[in-house]
Amino acid sequence: MAGKRKAGSGNGKSRPPAKKAAAKAPATKATKSTKTARSTKAPNGKPDVLGKNGRPRKPRTRGARIRRVLLYVLLAGLVCVLVACAGFLYLYKTTDLPDPNADFETNTSFVYYDDGKGGQGDQIGQYAVQNRDAISYDQMPQNIKDAVVAAENRTFWSDSGIDYKGIVRALFNNAQGNATQGASTITQQYIKILYLTQERTYTRKLKEAILSLKLGKEVSKQEILEGYLNTIYFGRGAYGIQAAAKAYFEKDAHDLTLQESATLASIINNPSQYNPDAGKDAKKALRERYRYVLSGMASAGKITEDEVKKAGRKLPKFSPGQTDDKYGGQRGHVLSMVKNELTTLTNKETGQPFTESEIDGGGLRITTTFTKKAMDAAEQGVNEVRPEGKQYSDKNLHVGVASVDVATGAVQGMYAGQDYLDSEINWAIAGGQAGSSVKPFSLAAALKAGYSLKDTFDGNSPFELEDGTEIRNEQDTDYGSAVNLLKATEDSINTAFTDLTVSMPDGPQQILEMMNKMGIPPNKGPGKHYGFPRASAGLDPYPSITLGSATISPINLANAYATIANGGRFHEPFIIEKVTSKDGEVLYDHSESDQQVIDKEQGADIAADVSYALQQVVQQGTGTAALGLGRPAAGKTGTATNDKDQVDSAWFTGYTPQLATSVMYVRGKGNEQLDGWLPSYFGGDYPADTWTDIMKRDMEGVEVEDFPPPANVDGDAPEDGHAPTLPPKPTKSPTPTHSPSETGKPTKTPTQVPTPTQTPTTEVPPPPTSTPPPPTPPTPTDTCGILGCGTPTPTPSSTTSPSAGRAMALPAFWNRMRW
């Protein structure tokens, strides 16, 4: 039917095919689906990132992220390496090698007195001026070349001048916070000697590496080894192999044997540690190093195993070390002592102890604590008082003296004994058995434990220990069963101090600890080790400790007495105030520190009471010779016996409020008989007279100061039966051994002492060394003593020898006894 319209064609046009319409529908859905995908989130809560194709990008894995970080680090590291290489190359190109002949110069180090005001005073002396005699490579024996390479750098002939493995090892060690290490080849050592300082820093190591590479490229290995062997320090003041051959073996370098060459090559590593003159331990260390060198030479095919076996049996024979005249007199002892102490002190520039090469040739300026006034006083005082006669020469009779500043611990004066060129033994350090000089430390321990100076102990002789051992006073003098500690100190009563020691709980140990705190270093083992020397042979916690069986040096004893004078405050003794470079840079500066050591609460009071007791020793006890000083003084006598029951040492140690001085007399090897040989062996004679003469010179121009009054410390005694009481009169009276001369000075002749057949058993006091001058009228505070007002200190009856009771150390049987 024409004219009819089809359904759905409102405009008369035909509709699109159904397939096309259907095709559009999915497209619409796809669009919506895409929009929905953009708004979805990944499981981790973060929106997905679309890739280039419009689809979500997969998140990176942990491994992928790590690889990317590593890539960035690698790239950054590569850039740093390139920059470092460029910088190193620039420095290498622009750095010129200096002229060794113009630049190698050993600078003399100088040692100075303290000027008395804390500054640098007059020069004491100087260390080795360069001893160097250069020889050519051909003049050097092949053995020394091979030995040095085996000892110091076994890859020398093949390396580039730098030990890369060693540098890495040193860097790794340093990064762990350990001590800065070196990693030096012979070339690096040579460069360091010629052009650089001993400073252990990375900057110096970089310069060293650059110069070493440059030297290795521009100079032959033979020339490097020749220069090294002509400049390295061998000890004994010798720089270079020719000087070393002369110093150690008195021959030219070309005549050195295999043993001698290997020995010198061994010493190079550490001339101080491997010094054959420094005793058994040093020789043992040198022997081990020596065998290492021989083994290295064999490994390199330079010598045979048979040669190693034959040469390794023993070290070669050394010639005696030549001592320079500048070490004559007491000067040599001071210079030697200062050098030894420097090797224990840290150089601020290097962070390491000063080396022998630095000390001898580093241009150091060393200010000591010694003053010229105190050194002269010690020497002049000894020479003024010591007995005359060939038998009493320095070779036989040894006098050791030390003076220590009370306020700081500085050792100001010293007399070491004989001329250093005759003997290097320093008796101010070597010391001897101190005898009754140690009783003040027992007294301090007793006061700390709760006793007082008024408490009493058994003064009768003998006193029997639990094991049956008998302790006696000289000539078996009885002072009564209840003698107070003040009296026991004045007259140095052996039995009372032994009773005191065993009455305190763990008494010997308490006394040892008190001695250690106050300035006496212990024997081997625990405790503070300091001083000169840093140990006291025989100082062990036995009852004999209170009577001085240990070996103690005058320096340490003077310092311990200085602790008493300083109110119980202790300083470590020291001898070096400051060290500077030749340019004025401070390389070491002593730092003072002190501490109250007797007791935190009552230390000063205990020290005041001990000091009061020691003043009574001078006023009316065994040390009246010290009254000649003419100013307030405190001190203690002491003598000791050897294993043959012979008197082998005599002491007087005392102090003013400013200075403590100890004087010791010994004979021969330090333990030989004085009684029957020395005109008088009592501590109150020659030692006390010497002390007085020295202190007069020391205290000239120094203001007079008084000691603090006694504090009358009185605590809870650890044991009953020692309550204060008036001591009875002695029940025995010893026969006087000699009498004072008309002048008031003791008549010091051999007839005054026992004959050699007589054997003393305990310290015997002499008669008063002088007629004491009238004491200064007491002030009102002086009328009250430690035992109460108006009560004078008891003294023996008129029938008692004024010298009785001065206690020596124990007789032989006691010294051999061990509890």
Cα distances (angstroms) measured from residue 301 to each of 146, 147, 186, 589, 702: 10, 12, 20, 50, 71
In this prediction, residue 70 carries a pLDDT of 84
Residue of 776 and 666 predicted with greater confidence: 666
Could you check whether the bond before residue 462 is cis, i.e. omega within 30 degrees of 0? yes
The predicted model gives 313-337 an average pLDDT of 87
- With a CB cutoff of 8 Å and minimum separation 6, the contacts of 582 are 107, 363, 364, 365
CB count within 10 Å of CB 812 equals 15
183-216 burial code (b ≥16 CB/10 A, e <16):
bbbbbbbbbbbbbeebebeeeebebbbbbbbbbb
**pLDDT tens digit string along 557-603?**
999 999 999 999 999 999 999 999 988 899 999 988 889 999 988 99
pTM over 0.85: no
**Contact call for residues 682 and 806 (beta carbons, < 8 A):** yes
Output the pLDDT for position 786: 57
Question: Confidence band (pLDDT; 50, 70, 90) for 8?
Answer: very low
pLDDT at position 781: 36
Residue with tokens 């102090």: 655
pLDDT tens string 76-95: 888 887 876 776 666 666 56
Assess whether pLDDT exceeds 90 at residue 497: yes
Nearest alpha carbon to residue 258 among 147, 149, 138 = 147
pLDDT of residue 103: 44
List pLDDT tens digits, range 271-294: 888 999 888 889 999 999 999 999
Mean pLDDT of 729-747: 36
Per-residue pLDDT tens over the stretch 623-650: 999 999 999 999 999 999 888 889 999 9
Give the pLDDT score at 508: 96
Say yes or no to pLDDT of 379 above 90.
Answer: yes
The string of DSSP letters for 115-183 reads -SSSSEEEEEEE-PPPEE----GGGS-HHHHHHHHHHH-TTTTTS-S--HHHHHHHHHHHHTT------
Q: For 173-203, what is each residue's pLDDT tens digit?
A: 555 554 444 447 888 888 777 765 444 555 5
> Can you give the pLDDT at residue 105?
54
Mean pLDDT of the chain: 80
Which residue, among 119, 195, 209, 110, has the nearest Cα to 159 in the 3D structure? 209
Percent of the chain whose predicted confidence (pLDDT) is above 90 = 53
pLDDT of residue 332: 93
For residue 657, the model assigns a pLDDT of 98
Band of the pLDDT at 751, cuts 50, 70, 90?
Answer: very low
Is 284 or 324 the better-scoring residue by pLDDT? Answer: 284
